[in-house]
Amino acid sequence: MSDTHSESVAYVRESFIEEQPAPITAAGPFKWVKDNLFPTWLNGLLTIVALYIIYQLLAGFLPWFLGGVWTTGSLAECREVLQGEVGACFSVLTDRWHQLLFGFTYPSEFYWRPTLAFVLLFVALAPVLFFDLPRKMLIFTGLYPFIAFWLIWGGTIFAPLSALLGFVVGYLVYEKFVKSSFAAGFFGGIVAAIVIWTVGGWLIPENASENAMLTAVPSRDLGGFMLNMMLGITCVSLSLPLGIALALGRQSHLPLVKWICVVFIEFVRGVPLITLLFVANVMLAYFFPPGSGVDLFLRVVIMITMFASAYIAEVIRGGLAALPKGQYEAGDSLGLDYPQAMRLIILPQALKISIPGIVNVAVGLFKDTTLVSIISMFDLVGMIRGPILASTDWNGVYWELFLFASALFFVVCYGISQYSQWLERRLETDHR
Amino acid sequence: MAEQTQMKVSDEVAIEITNMNKWFGAFHVLRDIDLTVYQGERIVICGPSGSGKSTLIRCINALEEHQQGTITVDGTLLGSDLKNIDKIRSEVGMCFQHFNLFPHLTILENCTLAPIWVRKTPKKEAEETAMHFLEKVKIPDQADKYPGQLSGGQQQRVAIARSLCMRPRIMLFDEPTSALDPEMIKEVLDTMIELAEEGMTMLCVTHEMGFARQVANRVIFMDQGQIVEQNEPEAFFNTPQNDRTKLFLSQILGH
């Protein structure tokens, strides 16, 4: 065979070369250390300097942390036990943990209620976060806000029930009318829900909460990390749908819808959150009918939700803009109408692109819930700065308390971040 | 119009465009387009880039809006009324140069999406139809993969199958092979030829002149937003009349 080719072609390969193992110098731990830590003398020097700095930090931190005192009743006792040695006074955590978690006025015999709500939260979130789980679990997710409300605030069960009934009736009306026109279904549903809520408000007697199964706890008694969690979860889950609506509204061809969304987004983004919170604290009361006494918690939720939804809207707008025009055209050419094209084609892709941005906003929002301490709500930071540091026993214990607060927030935020990375990998279907 | 009478394959009019004009801002892209397409006709539209051929077929399913004249598809007048647009779009299938498959859905889901949501076909039936058409374009074994895992040629065949699942009466092709590697063009063209042989009404913007000779019963040449010449393929390629057509054909067939 080669004979015939050698006359006409200069070079012909007759067999392919087999794959061979890499030489030993190209792999192994020694190789890794040399390549990554000491490749040149300058990099080696930097490695040594970095190791020295890490050593110094740990040498300062570890004795303080490991030598900590956990069992005393006040800072003065702590100092006695330590006798001038380096050591943290973690006793403040063992002494005041319940205040840090639940606030200082939440009745201690009811701590099980928010704790149960917290445990159920995972059951409710699971089918939303992990879509391999059975879809029937979403029924519980739908009920969870009402269950959690009842557990934490207590009082008559008819309040959350009538709220739930309003949503159910609103949805049924929407289902009935949406076939004739989307607008009829949408506004019909809203009107029906409002009617149910108003009627429910009339029917429930003023004193219904007095002998309820769960004793009522007023909003001003909520506090600690529980308050941060409640604000964070409520506001993130409300601001995501609102942000999607705003982003789509901003793209709308209807000028009025478009301008309302643009003005809302630009206004809210141009104002510091803290001013919105002051508005919630002082001024928002003027907008509600006198005597309706809309709860401070609800007012703060409205403001933080508005704030976050404006940011989420802009993140999602970026995702929408990143989609090729062909996706819209393909949906159009198949005869899908606008809601179908958005729900089935555009939003799944745009939201996937927006995940890092949305998580960024969610994490930022969760940490910003500590700002409510400025308007005298006793969240985790409010508890530390107020009742605990002001007490004679623990005046002066800064590091231990803020380390604890940081650890709590870090666990939640790192969890969110890890979940979002898992979700991005999971949704990776373009295989580029 | 004596020629056109000979070319038609049936008396039933599929698309009727009269005196249609379109502007992009101040730019006059389509000028006085008159075109009648009969049921079962296979029309190839060619012309230099920027001549408005893609815009013309995109007007037929209202991806582009026209400003003057009328377009009637299957007896439905295409106006600004959204109801007619959706009706026409579900009767007219379209294949794009860049396939425009939905990357977040599997091949099968790409094919069943529109039948389930637009036609309200039960899921099982839609899947059977989808598998039928995927077999027809010879890639049933890829049904559970995502578009990103397929070659360009395979993606375009999926795009054709996706359109066919809506059982359209008319198919529009907008340069379906222009974004493909040479070795993949044939598999797409074979699929289109098969479709033509079954009597589908087709309007195809393409530079594949071999395809035009083989399956078209009319070739339309456009330049500067106008239909310059139209004829049967044999006559169009062998004895072009207009100077622009001659120049274009010499450039495209010259090498």
| Tokens 């044999």, located at residue | B234
The answer to whether residue A24 sits within a structural domain is no
Nearest CA in chain A to B150: A431
Cβ contact A369:A305 at 8 Å: no
Q: What is the CATH number of the domain that holds A423?
A: 1.10.3720.10
Packing angle, helices A138-153 and A158-177, rounded to 10:
150
The answer to whether residue A390 sits within a structural domain is yes
Closest CA to B90 of B38, B198, B165: B165
Give residues 87 to 106 of B whose Cβ lies within 8 Å of A: 89-90, 92-94, 96, 98, 100-104
Nearest CA in chain A to B95: A330
Determine the pLDDT at residue A284.
65
Q: Tens-digit pLDDT profile for chain A (432 aa)?
A: 445 555 566 778 888 888 887 776 676 777 788 888 888 889 889 999 999 999 999 998 998 888 888 888 888 888 888 887 888 888 888 888 888 999 888 888 889 999 999 999 999 988 888 888 888 888 898 899 999 988 888 888 888 888 899 889 888 888 888 777 777 788 888 888 888 888 887 877 766 666 777 888 888 888 899 999 999 999 999 999 999 999 999 998 899 999 999 999 999 999 999 998 888 887 766 766 655 566 788 888 989 999 999 999 999 999 999 999 999 999 999 988 888 899 899 999 999 999 999 999 999 999 999 999 888 788 899 989 888 888 888 888 888 899 999 999 999 999 999 999 998 888 886 654
Domain count across chain A: 1
Cα B125 from Cα B141, distance rounded (Å): 18
User: Which residues of chain A make contact with B90, given a CB cutoff of 8 A?
Assistant: 334-335
Determine the pLDDT at residue B6.
44
Measured in angstroms, the CA of B148 and the nearest CA of chain A are apart by 5
Cα B210 from Cα A411, distance rounded (Å): 65
The answer to whether residue A239 sits within a structural domain is yes
Strand partners, B27: B24
Determine the pLDDT at residue A358.
92
Dihedrals φ, ψ of B181, to 5°? -65, 150
The dihedral built from the CA positions of residue B221, B227, B230 and B236, taken in this order, carries a sign that is negative
User: Which residues of chain B make contact with A336, given a CB cutoff of 8 A?
Assistant: 113-114, 117-118
Cα A71 from Cα A82, distance rounded (Å): 12
User: Which residues of chain B make contact with A335, given a CB cutoff of 8 A?
Assistant: 86, 89-90, 114, 118, 166
Check CB contact under 8 Å for A326 and B98.
yes
The answer to whether residue A414 sits within a structural domain is yes
User: Which residues of chain B make contact with A353, given a CB cutoff of 8 A?
Assistant: none
- For residue A64, the surrounding DSSP H or E stretch is helix A41-66
Alpha carbon A193 to its chain's center? 28
Strand partners, A89: A69
User: CA torsion angle for B129, B134, B137, B138 (degrees, to 10)?
Assistant: -130
Helices (H) and strands (E) in chain A, counts: 20, 0
Check CB contact under 8 Å for B100 and A329.
yes
- Residue range A80-131, pLDDT digits in tens: 888 878 888 888 888 888 889 998 888 888 899 999 999 999 999 888 888 8
Instruction: Find the angle CA(B140)-CA(B142)-CA(B148) to the nearest 5 degrees.
Output: 145
The answer to whether residue A157 sits within a structural domain is no
The answer to whether residue A427 sits within a structural domain is yes
Residues belonging to chain A with any Cβ–Cβ distance to chain B shorter than 8 Å: 324, 326-327, 329-330, 332-337, 340, 344-345, 348-349, 352, 427, 429-432
User: Which residues of chain A make contact with B98, given a CB cutoff of 8 A?
Assistant: 324, 326
Q: Dig out the tokens for A59 from the structure.
A: 């040498």
Nearest CA in chain A to B58: A333
Torsion region of A155: left, alpha or beta (phi above 0 gives left; psi -120 to 50 gives alpha) = left
Chain A interface test: which of B55, B59, B63 (most A C-beta within 10 Å): B63
Check CB contact under 8 Å for A336 and B117.
yes
In this prediction, the residues of chain B whose per-residue pLDDT falls under 50 are 1-7
Nearest CA in chain B to A432: B148
Helix (H, G, I), strand (E, B) or coil at A428: coil
Cβ contact B64:B47 at 8 Å: no
Which residues does B248 contact at the CB level (< 8 Å), separation at least 6?
Answer: B46, B47, B48, B221, B223
The answer to whether residue A20 sits within a structural domain is no
Domain, as residue range, for A307: 221-432
Determine the pLDDT at residue A8.
66
Determine the pLDDT at residue B81.
67
Check CB contact under 8 Å for A345 and B93.
no
The answer to whether residue A305 sits within a structural domain is yes
Check CB contact under 8 Å for B100 and A330.
yes
Cα B207 from Cα B216, distance rounded (Å): 13
Give residues 25 to 64 of B whose Cβ lies within 8 Å of A: 61-63
Determine the pLDDT at residue A268.
93
